[in-house]
């Protein structure tokens, strides 16, 4: 069954600011009929990588929090740790990053809880019985919440085309094990003729799966080139985004459709 989707005009006017529009959307989505008294309500969002501004503003999250509290629920803001290196790879710096970006209890009027434990290993198996997975590994706090609200921002994405609600739930609610399961077929390849030997990819790989090889005789290059060990690679794709020359690629036709199906199946588990 298809879900109803509601849109709101963002043009402002007297009594028609974005917070008012968000309030109207939550009313139309029947939030009151889904949140009961004392329900623990997980509001799943993306706190943004350190130094990034591409996230939903804390003021909008506070509006959601206030609506949940009006329903007598107990809201908390949450996200899981990432596979790739950065300020959200473990819960300590992840929480510090959320605070730096304005997601503090005094601002959003709710606690901020990083789901999945300090290193992303706190999880429960959820049975879904789908073609690729019979069970999926979802962060413990997501599974034990009474209600889950997804607050996603639209963005371009190297592997999914764009990221929105399905990615926010499928990848964003998965434990470290669940994320690894989704990325398991995404080992990138290096086009040696395009590699400049800058070694930037070495520092971004969380599993040290990239090494530098001496140039092959048939390639007219004097510098070393990168090599990805598929046995160590977890498929986080950070090296693809880091490479300044675009020398690191995935096999789009073979791997991306499977990856996207895996993500959607994990969204079912969330």
pLDDT tens, residue by residue, 4-46: 888 888 787 887 888 888 888 999 999 999 999 999 999 999 9
Query: What pLDDT score was predicted for residue 140?
Result: 98
Spatial separation of the C-alpha atoms in residues 65 and 188, rounded to whole Å:
40
The whole-number pLDDT of residue 2 equals: 82
Instruction: Give the DSSP H or E segment for 264.
Output: helix 252-269
pLDDT at 220: 58
Cα–Cα nearest to 122, from 181, 167, 174: 174
Q: Mean pLDDT of successive 10-residue segments in the chain (270 residues)?
A: 83 81 91 97 97 93 97 98 90 98 98 97 97 97 98 84 91 94 86 92 92 73 85 86 89 79 96
Sort residue 72 into left (φ over 0), alpha (ψ -120 to 50) or beta.
Answer: left
Classify 145 as helix, strand or coil. coil
First to last CA, the chain: 18
- The model's pTM is 0.84
Q: Which long-range contacts (CB under 8 A, 24 or more apart) does 155-164 make?
A: 155/54, 158/237, 158/240, 158/241, 159/186, 159/237, 159/250, 159/256, 159/259, 159/260, 160/259, 160/260, 160/263
Pick the CATH number of 189-249 from 3.40.50.720, 3.50.50.60, 3.30.70.3270, 3.30.460.20: 3.30.70.3270
| Domain range annotation of the chain | 18-183+258-269, 189-249
CA gap 183, 190 in Å, rounded = 18
pLDDT given at position 221: 58
């Amino acid at each position: 069954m298809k879900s109803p989707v509601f849109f709101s005009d963002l043009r402002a006017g007297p009594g028609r600011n974005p917070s008012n529009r968000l309030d109207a959307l939550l009313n139309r989505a029947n939030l009151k009929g889904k949140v009961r008294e004392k329900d623990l309500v997980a509001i799943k969002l993306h706190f943004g990588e350190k130094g990034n501004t591409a996230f939903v503003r804390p003021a909008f999250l506070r509006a959601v929090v206030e609506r949940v509290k009006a329903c007598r629920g107990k809201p908390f803001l949450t996200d899981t740790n990432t596979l790739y290196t950065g300020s959200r790879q473990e819960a300590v710096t992840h929480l510090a990053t959320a605070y730096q970006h304005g997601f503090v209890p005094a601002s959003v009027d709710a606690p901020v809880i990083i789901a999945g434990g300090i290193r992303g290993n706190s999880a429960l198996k959820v049975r879904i019985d789908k073609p690729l997975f019979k069970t999926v590994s979802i962060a413990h706090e997501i599974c034990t919440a009474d209600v889950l609200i997804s607050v996603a921002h639209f963005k371009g994405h190297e592997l999914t085309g764009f990221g929105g609600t399905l990615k926010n739930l499928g990848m964003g609610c998965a434990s470290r094990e669940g994320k690894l399961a989704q990325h398991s077929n995404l080992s990138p390849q290096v086009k040696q003729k395009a590699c400049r030997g800058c070694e930037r990819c070495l520092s971004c790989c969380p599993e040290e799966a990239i090494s530098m090889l001496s140039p092959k005789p048939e390639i007219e290059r004097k510098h070393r080139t990168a090599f990805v060990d598929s046995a160590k690679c977890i498929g986080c794709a950070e090296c693809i985004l880091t490479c300044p020359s675009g020398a690191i690629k995935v096999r789009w036709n073979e791997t991306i459709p499977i990856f996207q199906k895996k993500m959607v199946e994990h969204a079912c588990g969330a």
